[in-house]
Amino acid sequence: MKKRFSIRKLLVIGFLTLPAFAACYPILFLLAGSLMGRDELKANLSPVLSGGTGFIRWSLLPAYPTLREWVRLLLDTPEAFVMFWNSVKMTLAILAGQLLVGVPAAWGFAKYRFPGKKIFFTVYIILMMMPFQVLMLSEYLVLDGMRLLDHPLSVILPAVFSTFPVFIMYRFFCGVPDAIIESAKIDGAGHLKVFLHVGLPIGSAGVISALVLGFLEYWNLIEQPLAFLKDKSLWPMSLFLPNIDLSRAGLAFAASVSMLIPAFFVFLGGQDYLEQGIMAGAVKE
């Protein structure tokens, strides 16, 4: 009996591993491509590049792995370098701004009563659910009025005031027990002190969850820079990648992987927080 059970379990695992592998395959594909030499890529891609007949070929792993395309990316393509840093600066600025503005706001919503709180919070929830197409024109009008178009701030500022991280952190701050806050107050702690020394440490998981979700979102930014940044030297990496011609496939692979690595490490380090964040966005208010 026991043995049959374990065979069945193995079958299920095998059956589930297939789609799981498919889900992760793009990483392997990009890594393999970025380690292929120029000649190997050229041979694989020859039907497309030289207009011949036949089809692209591909192998799971590179036949002659080399780091040459990586070196080329780092040393010979200043434009890729600039755009990579644009992505880094934009993402970090947005996340820093969200921390500065959003964390206190989430605390205020979670632990205080003040006039208009309910209405404000409902508006926050509605705004957080609106896709960019709804907010695009309004953001454009403000940014245009402030003469911020074609400046990195045109992407950063609206994102800083995104209401989604406030909602996520709010959910975690609500879990801070009132009894602890009361006892801190009795010990003479003021509002700011309670927030910094009681709220933040206990609700830190929420802050990290919001940061992980935020990073994965803003590292991928496409719509906003496309609309608000005309000057291509300000573009993030995500807009640069699809413009690389397949004749420079080696560079495209190395650049794709350079984009993937930071996101992947944030994912590895923050997976628990990512899951908590996903759940916090769904549980009823």
Partner 1 sequence: MKLGKRTYKRGDLAGLLFVLPSLLGTGIFLLVPLLDVVRRSFSEAVSGKWTGFANYQAIFSNPAFLLAGKNTIRFTLVCIPILLVFSLFLAVFLHRMGKTGSMLKSAFLVPMAIPAASVVLLWRFLFQPQGLLNGLLHQLGIQGQDWMNSGYAFWILVFSYIWKNLGYDIVLWIAGLSGISENIYEAARVDGAGEWKCFISITLPNLLPSLFTISVLSLLNSFKVFREAYLVAGNYPHESIYLMQHLFNNWFLDLDLDKMAAAAVINGIAIFMLILLLKRVWESGDGAG
Choosing from 63, 71, 96, 278, the residue that interacts with partner 1 (CB under 8 A) is: 278
108 by Cβ neighbours in 10 Å (0-12 / 13-18 / 19+) ranks as middle
Choosing from 55, 64, 187, 201, the residue that interacts with partner 1 (CB under 8 A) is: 55
Residue by residue, DSSP assigns 120-159 as HHHHHHHHHH--HHHHHHHHHHHHHHTT-TTSTHHHHHHH
Binding mask 67-106 for partner 1 (x = CB under 8 A): ---------------------------------xxx-xx-
Choosing from 43, 67, 92, 130, the residue that interacts with partner 1 (CB under 8 A) is: 130
Backbone φ and ψ for 70, nearest 5 degrees, come out as -65, -45
Q: Segment 212-241, which members bind partner 1 (CB under 8 A)?
A: 216, 219-220, 222-223, 226-227, 237-241
Closest CA to 214 of 259, 169, 148: 169
Choosing from 47, 92, 150, 232, the residue that interacts with partner 1 (CB under 8 A) is: 47
Residue whose CB is less far from partner 1, 74 or 263: 263
Residue by residue, DSSP assigns 180-208 as HHHHHHHTT--HHHHIIIIIHHHTHHHHH
Residue whose CB is less far from partner 1, 40 or 111: 111
How many CB atoms within 10 Å of residue 111? 19
Binding mask 149-188 for partner 1 (x = CB under 8 A): --------xx-xx-x--x----------------------
For position 257 contacting partner 1 by CB under 8 A, the verdict is yes
How many CB atoms within 10 Å of residue 224? 20
Choosing from 74, 108, 151, 193, the residue that interacts with partner 1 (CB under 8 A) is: 108
Q: Segment 5-24, which members bind partner 1 (CB under 8 A)?
A: 9, 12-13, 16-17, 19-24
Residues near 148 by beta carbon (within 8 Å), at least 6 away in sequence: 154, 157
Residue whose CB is less far from partner 1, 77 or 111: 111
What is the C-alpha to C-alpha distance for residues 205 and 168, in angstroms, rounded to an integer?
A: 10
